[in-house]
C-alpha cells in the first residue's frame, strides 16, 4: 500500500493539476502526503526482512511481467530523499507567469517518476519510470529556463537520451544473458538468476551499464551537460534533478550492476577509479575556476558524485552504505543550495561573483541557509554528508589495504581526501564572494527570504542533521540490504 501512495499520489496530483486543479495547493498537499507516507515507511521498516511493503499486480504471465513495488533499505532511503526534496522544491517554486499548472505538473511527474524507479521491484518499470521523469526535466529547462535555455535543454536531452539508450541496451543484454527458463523482469529473481552469467559476458554488460548509468550521473568525462543544465533550469527543477533524479544512475549501479555483475565490476574497477578521480580532482579544479554561483554549484554536484563512485568502488558494505548515505545527504544539501541560489537570482538578476558581495547583511536568513548547505556539502561533522564521507573513505581505504605499500584504492582514497580540501576552497570562496565582505550599494534594499521559506529550509537541514547525528539509523537499515545484494561474493579486489 505504502509504495502505491508514494508513486501515485504525485502522479494523480500531476494529472489533476493538468486538468485544472489549483496548482500550488494540490501539489503541496500531494507532496506532504507523500512525505508522510515515506516517514511512515521509515518508522515501520522491518530491517530483518529484505523487502517491506511489497505490492504486486500481474501484468502479463507470459512475459513474467508484474507491476510490483516494494522497499528495501536502499529504496526506502531514496524514497525518503525524493519525498523531502519534492516538498522543498514545490515549496520554493516562486511565481510562475506562464503555464503555471504545467510547471507544477512537470515537478510532480519528475517526483513520481523518480519515486517509481526507486520502489520498482521490476526491471521494466524501473526503466520506464525513469524515462517518465526525464521528459518533464527537458520541458522545465526548455520552457521555463533562463539564459541559453534551448541550448541547455538540447544538450541535456541528447546526453540523457544517449545515456538511457546505452543503459537500455545493457539491461536488455542482462535480461537475455540469463538462461531462458530463469528469465524474469523481477529484480529479485533476476539477481538469483544472474549468478549463471559467465564472467566475460558480465564484463561487457557491466561496461554498458557503467557508461549508461554514468552519463545519467554525470560521470567524468560525460559531465558537461550538468552544470549548463542546472544553470539554465528554474531552481525547483535543478533541485529535483540534481537532488533526486540524478541519483537514479547511482541507485542502478548499486542495485543492479554491482550485485548482478560482480565479475564485471571487478574487471572494470580500474576504469571506474580513473573516472571517479576525474570527477573528484579534475572537476573539482574546474569548480574552483567558476565565476558564477549557479555554475559553481552545478560543477560541485558533479564533483561530489565522485565520492559516491568511490564508495561504490570500495566493494564492501562499509563503502557502499556510505555511498547510499551520501546520495541522500548530497541530494538534500544541493537542493538547499540551488534553492537559495535561485532566490538570490530572483532578487538580483545575477549570480556572478563579481557583482555580488556582503548579502548576508541584507539577507540574513538566506545567508544562514546557504551557509548551512555549504558546510553540509563540504562535509562538516554534524551533517549527514560527513558521516557518509567517513564511511566512504574508510570503506575505500580498506579495499586491498596492505602495510607494505599503498595500492590503487589507497591512492584513490588519498586523492579523494584531497578533494575535501578542494571542495572547501570553492565553497568558502563562493560564500565569501556572495555573502561576506563589502556589499555593493545597489543591493542595500534587497528583501530577505520570506518567512515561510523557513519551513522547507528547516526540513532539509533537520534531515541532514538527524542523519549526521544518528547515522546508525541509516546504517542499521542499509547493512542488511547490502548483505542481501552481495550474498554473492563481492567484487573486492
Partner 1 sequence: MSSALPYYILLLPLVSAAALLLFTRRYASLSAFVSVGASIIGFVCACLVFRESEFATTDLPWIDLRPLFYVPIGLTLDGLSKTMLVLVTGVGGLIHIYSLGYMQDDAGKSRYFASLSLFMFSMLGIILANNFVMMFIFWELVGVSSYLLIGHWFERDAAAEAAKKAFLTNRIGDFGFMLGILMVWSATGSVIFRDIAGKMTSLTSHPGYLTIAALLVFCGAVGKSAQFPLHVWLPDAMEGPTPISALIHAATMVAAGVYMLVRVGFLIQASAQALHVIAWIGTITAVMAGLIATQQNDIKRILAYSTLSQLGYMIMAVGLASGEAAMFHLFTHAFFKALLFLGAGAIIIMLHHEQNIWKMGGLGKRLPITCATFLIGTLALIGCPPFSGFFSKDTILGLAYEKDKLIFYIGLCTAFLTAFYMLRLVLVVFFGKPRSDNALRGDEAPFVMTGPLLVLSVPALLAGFGFFAKIFLILPRVEEAGHVVPTLAVVAMLLGVIAAVSLYRKRESDPIDLAFLRKRFYFDELYAWLIDITQEFLAGLSAFIDHWIIDALGVRGASTTTWGVGSLLRCLQIGNLQAYAFIFGLGIIGLIYFAVFK
Q: Is residue 418 part of the contact set for partner 1 (CB under 8 A)?
A: yes
Backbone dihedral angles phi then psi of residue 363, each to the nearest 5 degrees: -125, 65
Give the end-to-end CA distance of the chain in Å, rounded to a whole number: 41
- Contact with partner 1 (CB under 8 A) among 420, 446, 484, 493: 420
**Which set of grid coordinates corresponds to residue 109?**
511527474
The percent helix, strand, coil of the chain (3-state, each to 5) is 75, 5, 20
CA gap 384, 464 in Å, rounded: 5
**Subset of residues 278 to 307 that bind partner 1, contact rule: CB under 8 A:** 282-283, 285-286, 288-290
Q: Binding partner 1 by CB under 8 A: which of 29, 424, 448, 488?
A: 424
Residue 277's alpha-carbon distances to 206, 234, 400, in angstroms, are 19, 30, 18
Q: How many residues does the chain have?
A: 493
Asked if 172 is part of the footprint of partner 1 (rule: CB under 8 A), the reply reads yes
- Of the pair 83, 171, the CB lying nearest partner 1 is at 171
Query: Min. distance of Cβ 421 from partner 1 in angstroms?
Result: 5
Query: How far lies 254's CA from each of 45, 373, 387, in Å?
Result: 20, 26, 19
Least distance from partner 1 to the Cβ atom of residue 54, Å: 23
Should residue 429 be labelled a site residue for partner 1 when binding is judged by CB under 8 A?
yes
Helix H or strand E encompassing 68: strand 65-71
Cβ nearer to partner 1, comparing 94 with 221:
221
| 48 near partner 1, judged by CB under 8 A | no
Strand partners, 52: 71
Closest contact distance (angstroms) between CB of 145 and partner 1 is 11
* 213 belongs to the binding site for partner 1 (CB under 8 A): no
Tell me the closest approach of the beta carbon of residue 86 to partner 1, in angstroms. 21
Strands 65-71 and 52-60: antiparallel
Write out the binding residues for partner 1, residues 454-473 only, by CB under 8 A.
471-472
Please pick, from the candidates 53, 92, 124, 328, the single residue that binds partner 1 as defined by CB under 8 A: 124
Cα 388 to Cα 328: distance, rounded to the nearest angstrom: 9
Q: Please name the residue that has the C-alpha cell 504545467.
A: 102
**Helices (runs of H) and strands (runs of E) counted in the chain:** 22, 2
| Under rule CB under 8 A, residue 28 binds partner 1 | no
Grid cell at residue 240: 529535483
Of 8, 42, 67, 154, the residue at the interface with partner 1 (CB under 8 A) is 154
Q: Is 447 in the site for partner 1 (CB under 8 A)?
A: no
2/122 with CB nearer partner 1:
122
> Burial letters for 234-250: b for 16+ Cβ neighbours within 10 Å, e otherwise?
bbbbbbbbbbbbbbbbb
Q: Which is nearer to partner 1, 206 or 435 (CB)?
A: 435
Of 372, 450, 367, the residue nearest 92 (C-alpha): 450
Contact mark string toward partner 1, 302..321, x via CB under 8 A: --------------xxx--x
Please, what's the largest Cα pairwise distance for the chain?
73
Task: Check if the beta carbon of residue 253 is closer than 8 Å to that of residue 276.
Answer: no
Tell me which residues in 355-374 interact with partner 1 (CB under 8 A).
Answer: 358, 360-361
Q: How far is the CB of 37 from partner 1 (least distance, A)?
A: 27
Shortest gap between Cβ of 142 and partner 1 (angstroms)? 5
Provide, rounded to whole angstroms, the least separation between the CB of residue 464 and partner 1: 15
Q: Which is nearer to partner 1, 67 or 282 (CB)?
A: 282
Q: Which of 479, 484, 488, 493 binds partner 1 (CB under 8 A)?
A: 479
Minimal distance, residue 17 CB to partner 1, in Å: 15
> In angstroms, rounded to a whole number, what is the distance separating the alpha carbons of residues 106 and 428?
34
| Smallest distance from partner 1 to CB 358, Å | 5
CB of 275 to partner 1, least distance (A): 12
Q: How many Cβ atoms from other residues are within 10 Å of residue 474's Cβ?
A: 26
Contact by Cβ (8 Å): 302, 226: yes
- Is residue 75 within 8 A of residue 322, CB to CB? The reply is no
Helix (H, G, I), strand (E, B) or coil at 122: strand
3-state secondary structure of 361: coil
Question: Quick one: which segment of 36-44, 229-237, 259-267, 277-285 binds partner 1 (CB under 8 A)?
Answer: 277-285
Q: Does 327 bind partner 1 (CB under 8 A)?
A: no
Task: Choose between 53 and 299: whose C-beta lies nearer to partner 1.
Answer: 299
Secondary structure element (H or E) that encloses residue 60, with its range? strand 52-60
d(CA 223, CA 216): 9
155 is a site residue for partner 1 (CB under 8 A): yes
The residue among 37 and 132 lying less far from partner 1, judged by its C-beta, is: 132
How many residues of this chain bind partner 1 (CB under 8 A)?
Answer: 82
Choice between 73 and 85, CB closer to partner 1: 73
189 sits near partner 1 (criterion: CB under 8 A): no
Q: Which is nearer to partner 1, 34 or 456 (CB)?
A: 456
Q: Using the rule CB under 8 A, is 138 a contact of partner 1?
A: yes
Residues 329-358 contacting partner 1, CB under 8 A = 358
Amino acid at each position: 500500500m505504502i509504495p502505491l501512495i508514494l508513486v501515485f499520489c504525485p502522479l494523480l496530483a500531476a494529472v489533476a493539476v493538468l486538468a485544472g486543479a489549483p496548482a500550488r495547493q494540490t501539489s503541496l498537499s500531494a507532496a506532504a502526503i507523500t512525505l508522510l507516507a515515506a516517514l511512515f515507511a521509515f518508522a515501520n521498516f522491518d530491517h530483518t526482512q529484505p523487502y517491506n511493503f511489497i505490492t504486486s499486480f500481474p501484468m502479463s504471465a507470459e512475459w513474467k511481467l508484474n507491476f510490483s513495488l516494494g522497499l528495501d533499505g536502499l529504496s526506502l532511503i531514496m524514497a525518503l530523499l525524493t519525498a523531502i526534496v519534492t516538498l522543498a522544491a514545490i515549496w520554493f517554486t516562486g511565481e510562475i507567469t506562464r503555464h503555471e499548472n504545467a510547471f507544477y505538473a512537470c515537478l510532480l511527474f519528475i517526483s513520481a517518476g523518480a519515486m517509481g524507479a526507486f520502489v520498482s521491484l521490476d526491471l521494466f518499470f524501473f526503466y520506464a519510470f525513469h524515462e517518465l521523469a526525464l521528459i518533464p526535466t527537458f520541458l522545465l529547462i526548455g520552457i521555463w529556463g533562463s539564459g541559453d535555455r534551448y541550448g541547455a535543454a538540447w544538450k541535456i536531452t541528447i546526453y540523457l537520451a544517449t545515456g538511457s539508450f546505452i543503459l537500455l541496451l545493457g539491461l536488455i543484454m542482462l535480461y537475455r544473458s540469463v538462461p531462458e527458463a530463469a528469465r524474469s523482469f523481477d529484480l529479485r529473481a533476476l539477481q538469483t538468476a544472474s549468478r549463471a552469467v559467465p564472467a566475460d559476458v558480465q564484463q561487457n554488460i557491466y561496461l554498458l551499464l557503467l557508461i549508461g548509468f554514468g552519463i545519467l550521473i554525470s560521470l567524468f568525462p560525460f559531465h558537461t551537460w550538468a552544470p549548463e543544465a542546472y544553470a539554465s533550469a528554474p531552481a525547483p527543477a535543478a533541485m529535483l534533478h540534481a537532488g533526486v533524479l540524478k541519483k537514479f544512475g547511482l541507485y542502478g549501479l548499486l542495485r543492479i550492476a554491482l550485485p548482478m555483475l560482480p565479475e564485471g565490476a571487478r574487471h572494470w574497477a580500474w576504469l571506474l577509479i580513473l573516472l571517479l578521480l576525474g570527477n573528484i580532482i579534475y572537476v573539482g579544479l574546474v569548480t574552483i575556476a567558476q565565476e558564477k554561483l549557479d555554475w559553481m554549484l552545478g560543477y560541485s554536484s558533479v564533483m561530489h558524485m565522485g565520492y559516491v563512485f568511490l564508495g561504490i568502488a570500495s566493494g564492501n558494505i562499509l563503502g557502499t552504505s556510505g555511498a547510499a548515505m551520501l546520495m541522500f545527504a548530497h541530494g538534500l544539501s544541493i537542493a538547499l543550495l540551488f534553492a537559495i541560489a535561485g532566490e538570490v537570482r530572483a532578487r538580483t538578476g545575477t549570480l556572478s561573483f563579481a557583482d555580488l558581495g556582503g548579502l548576508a547583511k541584507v539577507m540574513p536568513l538566506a545567508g544562514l541557509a546557504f551557509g548551512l548547505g555549504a558546510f553540509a556539502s563540504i562535509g562538516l561533522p554534524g551533517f549527514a554528508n560527513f558521516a557518509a564521507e567517513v564511511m566512504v573513505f574508510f570503506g575505500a581505504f580498506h579495499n586491498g589495504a596492505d602495510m607494505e605499500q599503498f595500492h590503487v584504492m589507497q591512492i584513490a582514497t588519498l586523492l579523494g581526501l584531497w578533494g575535501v580540501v578542494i571542495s572547501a576552497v570553492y565553497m568558502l570562496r563562493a560564500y565569501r564572494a556572495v555573502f561576506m565582505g563589502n556589499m555593493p550599494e545597489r543591493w542595500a534594499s534587497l528583501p530577505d527570504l520570506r518567512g515561510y521559506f523557513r519551513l522547507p529550509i528547516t526540513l532539509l537541514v533537520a534531515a541532514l542533521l538527524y542523519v549526521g547525528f544518528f547515522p546508525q539509523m541509516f546504517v542499521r537499515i542499509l547493512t542488511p540490504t547490502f548483505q542481501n545484494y552481495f550474498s554473492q561474493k563481492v567484487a573486492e579486489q
